Amino acid sequence: MGIAAKRRDSALSYTMIDRRRFNQLLAVLTAGASFGQVHRALAAAPARPLIMLDAGHGGVDPGAIGVVGTYEKNIALPTVLELARQLEATRRFRITLTRRDDVFIPLEGRVARARAANADLFLSIHADALPSRAERGASVYTLSEKASDRLAAAMAASENSADRFAGIKLSHDPVVNGILFDLARRQTSNLSIRLAGDVVNHLRQHVVMLPNSHRAANFVVLKAPDIPSALVEIGCLSNRTEERDLRRPSYRTEIARALTRSINQYFDTIT
């Protein structure tokens, strides 16, 4: 992949609330709400969380190509469809997909869809190709801290960064907006790290993992500043054994099972 990766410490020592409640709270506070209004907003039963699943690549973009010619796009899509099926079966979530077919969607378009849908979670599914054919294993990425900082600064500075952010009507005061951006961005980053930790913990019980399984990178699809996001490389197509595994529906079902458990655990611990 040619990118600098570093281990992330997923041990978080403070309490987190889920994204929807956090945004509700920000919205009522910035509107100058009374304590009663804040209390009612927090007490309201939230809708089922909306999860946007993203099958990497598609259409003219095959993604990585395996030793015997397997296209990454053709591994990512059935994995996402199986994951969607399993998540829907829990009746706990609403599921939406960036693509259901072999179509090309630009990276920014995937993030835009997640934000337009007001998704509570964004999970992108890929398969890796590494320079060494001996290497195999899954890994999980969240947005690097530096990229996240730069993004927040750029969005806060931008005049046309949409009139709403994290579901909140923006203030005319750039200082207030800067604080809102920073709060939401930090919350998103913490939740993304929590999600990645849950994914690693469950995946490693089912499949081989790369060393330093949780990595940070500057992936475009992880750049929604207000939606907790992670990208899962479910294995290496550059490794002959893993390519064969990834082609097997039963293997992908197992991965989907681990991801379903991770997402369940994530929502168990943040709400």
Task: Please report, as ranges, the residues that interact with Zn ion according to CB under 5 A.
Answer: 56, 63, 126
Which ranges of the chain does DSSP label H, i.e. alpha helix? 19-30, 35-43, 72-89, 107-116, 145-157, 174-203, 240-247, 249-270
Distances (CA, A) of 246 to 1, 101, 236, 250: 19, 19, 8, 9
Nearer to Zn ion among residue 56 and residue 225 (C-beta): 56
Task: Give me the least distance between CB of 57 and Zn ion, in Å please.
Answer: 6
Task: Give me the least distance between CB of 71 and Zn ion, in Å please.
Answer: 10
Nearer to Zn ion among residue 155 and residue 230 (C-beta): 230
Task: Give me the least distance between CB of 152 and Zn ion, in Å please.
Answer: 25
The tokens 């913490």 sit on which residue? 190
Nearer to Zn ion among residue 138 and residue 156 (C-beta): 138
Q: How far apart are CA 222 and CA 89, in angstroms?
A: 26
Residue nearest to Zn ion (CB): 126
Task: Give me the least distance between CB of 254 and Zn ion, in Å please.
Answer: 20
Nearer to Zn ion among residue 63 and residue 228 (C-beta): 63
Task: Give me the least distance between CB of 175 and Zn ion, in Å please.
Answer: 39
Nearer to Zn ion among residue 74 and residue 187 (C-beta): 74
Residues 169 and 187: beta-carbon distance below 8 Å: no
Angle between helices 174-203 and 249-270 (to 10 degrees): 130
